[in-house]
Amino acid sequence: MSIAEPAPPLSLIPLGLAAAGPIAIGAILAVHGTSPTPLVAVPAVVFGVVAATAPALYIATAAAGTAPSLATVVRAFGVAIGAFGVALAGLLLPAAFLSLSSVSPSTTFVVATAALGGAGLLALRRLGKELAPARVTSLTSGTVFLVWSAATVGIAGRLWWDLAQEVLS
């Protein structure tokens, strides 16, 4: 693809899977929990963390002097969210099977955490790959992405832990 060619459009199927996947994980949690709160709370955590931390990545890369264009960053996030949806769709059935065949709520928590965490890590990897050609590759840009990723995972992990403890207690 040359510079003059426009980027191919984002597919709506992976984005739809990204929207439906967290609801399904919430349903898995709700089956073992005492309320239907996870049906709304899991997507809120997933997309709330992305919405809250994505601007920080762009600002940090701009401050470091390695920022790609805003359009490139928005597209990269769209592709990464799509990758999250596809990965989570592949992990949903095994997660549902393991969770529903278990008698322990802690197994549900571990399985749902593994599914969301695995899909999230794959999405972070895809985001890094999507942003790599568009930014100036340097130790600074890599460090900024690594620190942002760690902070995002930490925030998401804390919110997930609080939600799961509330639901499964």
Sign of CA dihedral 50, 60, 80, 165: negative
Q: State the average pLDDT over residues 27-47.
A: 88
CA distance 40 to 73: 27
Is the pLDDT at 144 greater than 50? The verdict is yes
Under 8 Å CB-to-CB from 49, ≥6 apart: which residues? 152, 155, 156, 159
Residue-wise pLDDT for 74-126, tens only, equals 999 999 999 999 999 999 999 999 998 988 888 888 999 999 999 999 999 99
116 close to 160: Cβ distance less than 8 angstroms: yes
Q: Is the pTM of this model over 0.95?
A: no
Q: What's residue 5's pLDDT?
A: 52
